[in-house]
Amino acid sequence: MSTKTKKGTGGTLSVLWQGITRSPSGFTGMCIVVAILAFVFLGRFLVDHDNPTDPDALWLPMSGEHWLGTNFEGKDTFTKLVLGGAEPIWVGALAAAITVVVAVILGALAGYLRGRFDDIVLQATDITMTIPFITVLIIVASYFRNISPLMVALIIGLLTWPFLTRSIRAQVLTLKEREFIEAAKLQNLGTTRVVFVDILPNMAGYIFINFIIAVTNAIYAIVGLYLLGLLPSTAENWGLMIQQAWQNSAYLLPRALPFLLAPLAMIALFQVGLVLVTRSLEQALNPRLRER
């Protein structure tokens, strides 16, 4: 039985990879995501982190020295663009990881154990789903002006798990009726072994797709908070760039537009890449979509 599970897991990973590489849109999306990740996390080793303020170089146009011009402080826009991508991406990924971990554990156990535990989980999801997490983030960020990105990720993760929890629970309710799960029960392998070794690996593709979706939602949330000026400006961030560009009326000065448009383009491209990858994975894992 464990052999079947391992084959199923390996088969799922193979289907995921083939779904991305065989689909032109999926492969394009993967290339976009990888390129932006390399730009952000490898590019930071190639730029000057000091990026000093220069009062004599305010809003300089694009040139060989300043590829995207300079901002309202005379700092190089390209350097700020490279350094500003790490925080929204890692915060989004961390928030998504918290969402997925909580949802998978609670959803899987609720669907497998049923009974009182299932009732408690469903009640918790009902309560949490009524809480608008964006409103909560705005209130918390307004009250705690020095809130850290780590805390933002934690809040997002702990408020966005209910929808996925219900989906995982429904999947587990179906999978627990399969023959190999019934065989595992008869062998008294234990709840932890059956749920996390036999059931969840068969849902790896579905969980991964939802992780990508959670990343996109979390990035939008943290960038939106920076755009509203509710997070401290202690680190470089694409959302902070957009907010500063708006505050300094960069949209009114043609040579200042790169400072506004560059982070917008990076966020949009990253999200488009993730969406293309997600759609390809859905087609690869859904037989009905695969036939189209």
User: What are the tens digits of pLDDT across the range 140-178?
Assistant: 877 776 788 888 899 889 889 999 999 999 999 988 888
Q: Give pLDDT, residue 178.
A: 85
Calculate what percentage of the chain has a pLDDT beyond 70. 91
Q: What span, in angstroms and rounded, lies between the C-alpha atoms of 218 and 90?
A: 10
2-49+71-290 — its CATH code?
1.10.3720.10
Structure confidence at residue 13 as a pLDDT band (50, 70, 90)? low
Tokens of 212: 């990508």
Q: Give pLDDT, residue 9.
A: 53
Q: Give pLDDT, residue 12.
A: 61
Q: What span, in angstroms and rounded, lies between the C-alpha atoms of 224 and 134?
A: 9
175-181-184 Cα angle (round to 5): 160
Q: Give pLDDT, residue 2.
A: 41
235-241-245 Cα angle (round to 5): 140
Q: What span, in angstroms and rounded, lies between the C-alpha atoms of 205 and 13?
A: 7
Domain boundaries, the chain: 2-49+71-290
Q: Is the pLDDT of residue 7 over 80?
A: no
DSSP β-bridge partners for residue 70: 76
Q: Give pLDDT, residue 117.
A: 95
126-217-259 Cα angle (round to 5): 150
Lowest mean pLDDT segment, chosen from 65-69, 89-93, 233-237: 233-237
Residues 88-133 have pLDDT tens digits of 999 999 999 999 999 999 999 999 999 999 999 999 999 998 888 7
Residues 165-174 have pLDDT tens digits of 999 999 999 8
Structure confidence at residue 256 as a pLDDT band (50, 70, 90)? very high
Q: What span, in angstroms and rounded, lies between the C-alpha atoms of 159 and 65?
A: 45
The mean pLDDT value for 49-55 works out to 85
Q: Give pLDDT, residue 5.
A: 43
Burial class (CB in 10 A: 0-12, 13-18, 19+), 264: middle
- Yes or no: say if 159 and 133 are a contact pair by the CB < 8 Å rule: yes
Q: Can you tell me which residue has the tokens 């669907």?
A: 111
Q: Give pLDDT, residue 255.
A: 92
The mean pLDDT value for 218-234 works out to 82
Structure confidence at residue 4 as a pLDDT band (50, 70, 90)? very low
Q: Is the pLDDT of residue 251 over 80?
A: yes
Q: Give pLDDT, residue 229.
A: 78
